[in-house]
Amino acid sequence: VRCQHCPPLRALQASAVLRRVSDEHKKEPFTSSSQQQFDRHPAGHQPDQEPQGPRPSYTGQGGQESEDYESEEQLQRRILTAALEFVPEHGWTAEAIAEGAKTLGLSVAAAGMFHSDGSELILHFVSECNAKLSELLEKEQKLVQLGEAEKKPTDEFLRDAVEARLRMLIPYIEKWPQALSILLLPRNIPSSLSLLTSMIDDIWHYAGDQSTDFNWYTRRAVLTGIYNTTELVMLQDSSPGFEDTWRFLENRVADAMNMSNTASQVQSTGEAVVQGLMGAAVTVSN
């Protein structure tokens, strides 16, 4: 049901009713967007539906349309997104979610839909950040493909990707330690771990990693280690613009690159040593 000028509040109030009448409305041919004043209430279906208080200026058309079908999850996501702006003040708590619900015109009791420790809020935030990072990397890749940008060397690419992702934490950096501790609760570990691994996988994918051997695992493990340690350093960093953190990151990425070089060097050295020993043995036996 497209009703671009109906306030979402009304949609929420009427949603129980909407579901039942939605079948009738679906059959009506949906006209072009020129029909702005779509009368959603023929024959007084809801004679007493009065909009409540200040209507949020919200043009979520996608949200409106799927209000009839996916309303619960979509609504929950909207509440969590709205709650993020209250996190610096209230922390990652049910209070922030309650404030978020209030801005959407809902009662503060809507925060009861979520856990009282704010886990869902944090997980939502992390998945949003990961999505933003993917978008960013996708855009960069397109530019490279179109030839408008240079392909970065691996270490620089990794460094930039991790930095971009960590910068998204800056507005919430004060309350982030609290969030990390909640993410480590046994209940949340499956979700937080899967979010972390998918993000690292994303970064390597866009870095051009196509390995099919054990390297796949080592690369991801190494990058996870770099990301986690840099995050922890960032939490304690008080330098202007987090310069210390970025320098730490640069060093760690360089270490990782060296390590892989060293590994291959060790391997070739080992092979050379073995050959030398074999030669010596043959000589001695002769």
Partner 1 sequence: LSRVRGAPRALRGLAAGPGMHFGFQSVTEEERREKIYQVFESVAKKYDVMNDSMTLGIHRVWKDILVHKMNPCPGTLLLDVAGGTGDIAFRFINYVRSIRERQLQRKLKQHQNLSWQEIFENYQEDRFNSLGDSQVVVCDINREMLKVGKQKAQHLGYSEGLSWVLGNAEELPFDDDKFDVYTIAFGIRNVTRIDLALQEAYRVLKPGGRFLCLEFSHVSNPLLSRLYDLYSFQVIPVLGEVIAGDWKSYQYLVESIRQFPPQEELKAMIEDAGFFKVDYENLNFGIVAIHSGFKL
> Residue 105 or residue 199: which is nearer to partner 1 going by CB?
105
Place of tokens 């909640």: 182
- Closest distance of CB 162 from partner 1, Å: 32
Name the amino acid, one letter, at 248: F
Minimum gap (Å) between residue 96 Cβ and partner 1: 10
- Which CB sits closer to partner 1, 177 or 208? 177
Query: Measured from the CB of residue 44, what is the shortest distance to partner 1 in angstroms?
Result: 16
Among 20, 55, 139, 247, binds partner 1 (CB under 8 A): 20
Q: What distances in angstroms separate CA 4 from CA 11, 124, 283, one per listed residue?
A: 11, 27, 89
Nearer to partner 1, 83 or 222 (CB): 83
Q: CA-CA-CA-CA torsion for 177, 180, 182, 184, nearest 10 degrees?
A: -140
User: Which range binds partner 1 by CB under 8 A, 13-21, 149-157, 216-224, 270-278?
Assistant: 13-21
Q: How would you class 76 by CB atoms within 10 Å of its CB: exposed for 0-12, middle for 13-18, buried for 19 or more?
A: middle
21 makes contact with partner 1 (CB under 8 A) = no
Write out the two tokens for 106: 């809902």
The amino acid sitting at 256 is A
H helices present in the chain, as ranges: 8-27, 61-65, 71-83, 87-90, 94-103, 119-145, 154-167, 176-183, 189-206, 215-235, 243-285
CB of 108 to partner 1, least distance (A): 6
Encoded one letter per residue, x for contact with partner 1 by CB under 8 A and - for no contact, window 27-66 reads: ---------------------x---x--------------
Q: How far is the CB of 16 from partner 1 (least distance, A)?
A: 4
- Which range touches partner 1 (CB under 8 A), out of 9-17, 27-35, 137-145, 268-276? 9-17
- Provide the CA 230 distance to its chain's centre, in angstroms: 18
Return the residues of window 60-119 that contact partner 1 according to CB under 8 A: 71-72, 75, 94-95, 98, 101, 104-113, 116
Task: Identify which of 148, 136, 8 has the alpha carbon closest to the alpha carbon of residue 78.
Answer: 8
Read off the tokens for 78: 């909207």
Q: Which of 1, 6, 9, 82 binds partner 1 (CB under 8 A)?
A: 9
Nearest to 4 by CA among 27, 36, 51, 46: 36
State the residues that interact with partner 1 by CB under 8 A.
9, 12-13, 15-17, 19-20, 48, 52, 71-72, 75, 94-95, 98, 101, 104-113, 116
